[in-house]
Amino acid sequence: MKNIRAALAVAAVLALSACGGGSPSSGASAPAAEGSPGLTHINVGVIPIVDVAPIYLGVKEGIFREEGLDVELTQAQGGAAIVPAITTGQMDFGFSNVTSLVIARSKGLPLKMVASGSSSTGDQDADFAAVLVKPGSDIKEIQDLAGRKIAVNTLNNISDSTIREAVAEAGGDAKKLEFVEMPFPDMRAALQKGNVDAIAAVEPFVTIAKGDGAVPVFSNYAHPVDDLTVAVYFTSDQIARQKPEATQAFIRAMKKSQQFAQENPDKVRAILPEYTQLDPAVIKQLTLPKFAQEVNAESIQQVADISLKNGLIEQVPDMEALLPQ
């Protein structure tokens, strides 16, 4: 009961996507399962976004089956649903952005990262996240964002905290930034109408906004944190203890699936229509995340430090307990 109350108390801090917001899909929750007898069944909470393509490919290619796992992928609208399901044992593993997990662990939720999800490409000019402005805007450099109104999909999370840090590093006054919370799909119109000066978007909304003529200023995932692990798969301390063999099998299968996705971008794009409602034309153009096999612990530590600096957490959580072994 204590875990249930804790989960509900902090559910709001967890993202509705890898980046804390909604998705371009309908959110249908039809599970995808391998369904073979003699395998260990696990339920994984995912979100219908580009970032989770590797796990869908891993199921389709039989990678999880090879590790003895029968995988049920249950779509959720975000971490606000996945986290309570894991803390109560209804799901075994789930997907979330790293800032949300840092915040949750700092509030006492016994959550643990087990496998890498999506990472920045590291290229500010070609990443799956970007801060964009209208064509002709006088915002040309990162420091020019000071004093401007920026749309983010969730306040006090990975987008606004990394932008604040980037502006401060560039010599701008980060205290003068004004963030406005709105869903990713609404940002395009808000920027066009001049209701905001910039938007912090992720794919496919970066590609869609560029199609309107929006101009990227920088990627807040590629900078200020180097080689940023943006999102991960996680479980609870209890599940990791109770199901050590399944947990290790899941970790091995995810590493193989991540590698497969990284080496086969065409198959990543090909599988997206199977669990999202993305336009095929957009799928061809969008920038894919990097699908790393390992979580970059140093980048997560930087995220925790930035979260503390910006008041998202009162103290840095036990990082050894949070990070993969």
Residues 6+ apart with CB under 8 A from 175: none
pLDDT, tens digit, for every residue of 25-51? 333 434 444 456 689 999 999 999 999
Closest CA to 78 of 231, 190, 199, 300: 231
pLDDT, tens digit, for every residue of 202-250? 999 999 999 999 999 999 999 999 999 999 999 999 999 999 999 999 9
C-alpha 208/C-alpha 128 separation (Å) is: 12
pTM comes to 0.88
Please, what are the domains in the chain?
2-120+227-322 (3.40.190.10), 129-218 (3.40.190.10)
CB 63 within 8 Å of CB 274: no
Both tokens of 101, joined, read 């997990």
C-alpha 198/C-alpha 278 separation (Å) is: 24
Residues 6+ apart with CB under 8 A from 263: none
Quick one: angle between helices 2-10 and 79-87, nearest 10? 170
